[in-house]
């Protein structure tokens, strides 16, 4: 059977002791009485978008074509070479500084027992979208600027730099055997100071212009050069040298389906990127979710408190003259 080398990277992570589950939640109602049905899907078989589409379809909802790559170009040998020039310099050993971190701690809780979440109202979601537009940034950059502030002020030393992994949807720009197969790359964003939303946006734009996402995809599909044993050996070597990034922030975008339910999404975490944060907008309501790897030594209550603060930062940054409710529905 032909090896899917993109999927093999996630299988190797699992073999090295990591939980590669992508987490989803279906809120059957909003507010204090929300009841969440949780789901876990393996990252070697799905990416964030195909997993959500699969769950929605199984729930009886109609989901047509999945969101596609928004750029004008596609993956090619030329773009791969261009992208590798900016991707490869970010692949060296990097140790993330944390206030409190112990990578020797075993994974004790299921992923669904680590996920904190909140649901914004349609009014709040619209206000966040409008504020991002006013600032000349995407909702993604707006949310990430506040997330990075949260992490910088609470989890890392004052002078510690942060590096975020931001998945990029490449559907329509790369060739894969099925709609379900992982079809995402990522870009790396580095912050030494707490960024404004426009700072995040400018770095995102620069990375995409440089073709970083094509370099990342080239590394995924080119992992056959290492072989299965080599991939695992490289991961173990990096682990022994305390290699790590800050975390991953993933936005599944906007989904319009016939449902009154809210949906939650949270990417997997590992010792390498121990902070996982995700968002998705379904029928005009944005949800945020977050989990921490056990190495960060946070229980669900403390994670929820930090997520609540993240949500409050996003809402409180909206000008006072825009009259919206500050009340939020937390998990």
| Angle between helix 139-154 and 122-135 (nearest 10) | 90
Radius of gyration of the chain (CA): 19
Residue 289 Ramachandran class (φ > 0 left, ψ -120 to 50 alpha, else beta)? beta
Quote the pLDDT of residue 317: 83
Length of the chain: 331
- Entry pTM: 0.94
Distance CA 157, CA 90 (A): 22
Q: Do the strands 275-282 and 329-330 form a parallel or antiparallel pair, or are they unpaired? A: unpaired
∠ Cα 212 215 221 (to 5°): 145
HSE-CB of 153 using CA atoms within 13 angstroms: 12
Quote the pLDDT of residue 330: 56
Neighbouring residues of 300: CB distance < 8 A, sequence distance ≥ 6:
113, 114, 115, 116
Nearest residue to 279 (alpha-carbon basis) of 171, 132, 77: 132
How is the chain split among helix, strand and coil, in percent rounded to 5? 40, 20, 40
Segment 86-102, tens digit of pLDDT: 999 999 999 999 999 99
Per-block mean pLDDT, blocks of 10 residues, the chain (331 long): 92 95 86 78 97 95 91 94 98 97 82 89 95 96 98 95 98 93 97 97 98 98 97 96 97 91 95 97 96 93 96 86 54 58
Alpha-helix runs per DSSP H in 37-121: 48-58, 77-87
Of 4.10.520.10, 3.30.559.30, 3.30.300.30, 1.10.420.10, the CATH number of 5-330 is: 3.30.559.30
Quote the pLDDT of residue 34: 66
Buried b (16+ CB within 10 A) or exposed e, 148-169: bbbbbeebbeeeeebbbbbbbb
Quote the pLDDT of residue 327: 57
Quote the pLDDT of residue 105: 85
Quote the pLDDT of residue 324: 53
Beta bridge partners of 78: none
Beta bridge partners of 190: 163
For the chain, give every domain's residue range. Answer: 5-330
Distance CA 108, CA 304 (A): 18
Quote the pLDDT of residue 194: 95
Distance CA 69, CA 171 (A): 5
Distance CA 167, CA 170 (A): 9
Structure tokens at 118: 């909140």
Quote the pLDDT of residue 319: 77
């Amino acid at each position: 059977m032909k090896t899917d080398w993109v999927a093999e990277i996630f299988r190797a992570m699992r073999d090295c002791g990591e939980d590669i589950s992508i987490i989803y939640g279906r809120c059957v109602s909003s507010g204090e009485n929300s009841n969440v049905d949780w789901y876990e899907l393996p990252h070697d078989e799905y990416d964030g978008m195909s997993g959500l589409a699969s769950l929605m379809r199984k729930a009886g909802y109609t989901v047509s074509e999945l969101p596609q790559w928004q750029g004008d170009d596609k993956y090619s040998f030329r773009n791969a070479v261009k992208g590798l020039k900016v991707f490869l310099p970010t692949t060296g050993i990097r140790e993330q500084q944390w206030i409190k971190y112990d990578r020797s701690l075993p994974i004790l809780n299921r992923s669904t027992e680590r996920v904190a979440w909140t649901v914004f109202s349609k009014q709040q979601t619209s206000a966040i979208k409008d504020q991002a537009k006013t600032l000349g940034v995407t909702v993604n950059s707006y949310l990430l600027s506040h997330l990075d502030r949260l992490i910088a002020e609470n989890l890392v030393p004052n002078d510690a730099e942060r590096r975020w992994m931001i998945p990029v949807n490449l559907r329509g720009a790369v060739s894969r055997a099925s709609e379900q197969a992982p079809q995402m790359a990522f870009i790396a964003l580095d912050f030494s100071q707490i960024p404004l939303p426009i700072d995040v946006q400018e770095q995102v734009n620069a990375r995409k212009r440089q073709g970083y996402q094509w370099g990342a995809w080239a590394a995924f599909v080119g992992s056959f050069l290492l072989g299965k044993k080599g991939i695992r050996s490289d991961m173990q070597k990096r682990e022994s040298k305390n290699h790590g990034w800050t975390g991953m922030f993933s936005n599944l975008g906007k989904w319009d389906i016939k449902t009154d339910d809210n949906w939650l999404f949270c990417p997997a975490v590992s010792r390498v990127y121990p902070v996982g944060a995700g968002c998705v907008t379904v029928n005009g309501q944005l949800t945020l979710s977050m989990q921490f790897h056990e190495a960060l030594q946070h229980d669900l209550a403390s994670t929820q408190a930090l997520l609540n603060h993240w949500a409050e930062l996003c809402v409180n940054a909206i000008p006072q003259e825009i009259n919206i409710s500050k009340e939020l529905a937390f998990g």
